[in-house]
Structure 1
Amino acid sequence: MLEDQVEQLQTKLSVAEIAKARLEDENAALRQHKGSKGQQQPQQPSQEKDPHGGHGGRSDGAESDHASTESMTIMRTRMLSLTRQRDQLREQLQEAFEIQLAMQERPGGKPSEWNVDDFKRLELALEEKTAELSIWKERAIALEKVVERIRMIKDKPEPTGLNLDRGSTTDSESVISVSSAGGRSQHHTLEELDQVVLRLERRLERRDQELQEVVLEAKRQADQRLEAWKSKWVQVVQRKNAEIHRFQVELESLMAAVNRDRARMAAAMKK
């Protein structure tokens, strides 16, 4: 959109320069015509009169000279106005280029905030966090399998002491004590694994939530900056369009005045 506006400004500037050159050529032609007419007037008879006894040729020549002088004055004024408009248009074009450069990079050569590279970097960070999250999920699944296996081992009957001879009271008591100690150790290990799994799940949930908040905040800030830039450039483009329209109207009025002067000069030359 900005490139189109810059191209339009350049086109208008070239049109203004062409119109100025055309006006300068017409002004030179008027001066040359006036000089040649002034050289031809002394050769004409001074006593030439119209049928009513008046000096018709002199009055027509004076009126033609007055009209030419007036048209030249108008053309000079229009040329000065056109020159000023051209200079203003060049300044506006330079300002548009500076604004475009300011959008692309900040002063000092540093890249602007939240450009395409920043979004790509953010996407890479999101992918890395997602990969890390998948790794933690795989570890949690592996721990769940370990816990399930421990539960299955715990639910199985213990063969120790079931098929042994119960004649010895000491052996039976030792087997019972060993089995109870093993059950307590397995129960203690299962609880610890459950706690570890819970901690990992909570940590993964927090990491996922924090990552989502970071992504949402980055998108919100990027949207705000984009809307600010859009509103600013809409105002700039509207102002430039208004100035271009005003310049076009003045140029059309100038061309209409030139056409009227041409018609007047043609009529005067026919007389």
Structure 2
Amino acid sequence: MDTFKKVTNNKGFDDATLCHLFSETLDGEAMSWFFECSPGSMDSFLALSNAFLSRFILMTDGYHNSNQLFSINQGIDESLKSYVTRWRTATSRCRDLDKTMALAAFKQALHKASFLYHLNCNCPNATYNYVMNEAVLHAQAEYNTYGATPPPPQTPLKNPQPATFQQGNTTTTTTPSITTPPNDKKREWQHGNYQDKRQKDQQYHNKGNRSFHNDRRDNRHNKPAANAQKFVVFAVLTASYEEIYDQCKDQIPPPPLRKYPRVGKPRNTGKWCKHHEDSGHNTNDCN
């Protein structure tokens, strides 16, 4: 349609001649559509061109109306020159371009950099044509300064602000916590693992010792009075570990399974542990 208007412009043809000339340029599906139109349905060349565009506009590539311009965005590493070129190519394909809407879409897609700041600060009420001229000037200056690959826009760092809480008539301000250096974090992590290991070892040694837990439970329920004796005196343990094990072996949980199973008979070292059933130490020396 644009090519036909260019050829027939300023030729002095009336609407009837333009309609007949336009029908001679059609072929294929477009020709079939033209002959399907009822006679007398087109009273002017404008009506014929509008009907033709409404029928075949979706067969073209690109943008067809101003609302679709909001889907265009300037890439992260895209220069202003490349973005303006893509923008003008898209707007040239729009039918009945709404410049107010196009201006809003153009500014929305820009990087938050110096050119957008210039538009908002120096020409906030500028027209669409003026903004396009400014874009061309800034694109040329950007290309002359940085070349084809300008640096990407810098994103400002967001510093955390202290939170303010109001309690009654007083106001309390809390500052963000100081970040722990990597070495301190590593030292703190190692210290935490060491403490966890000690707690696990202690729990393993006390595991199954029910008399120990029963004594603690009895002491918790039978607390002495305020004027009672401060310390409790216990009897001295005179029996050996081996004797205690022989009497309470049914109440003591077995040792954990070996990571690697034993192969062959235990070696003869003169020592024997009844709990582990191993010759590495005696029962009285068992941890």
TM-score range, shorter chain: under 0.3
Instruction: State the TM-score, normalized to the length of structure 2.
Output: 0.16
Which protein has greater RCO, CA pairs closer than 8 Å, 6+ apart? 1
Q: Which has the higher helix share?
A: 1
Instruction: State the TM-score, normalized to the length of structure 1.
Output: 0.17
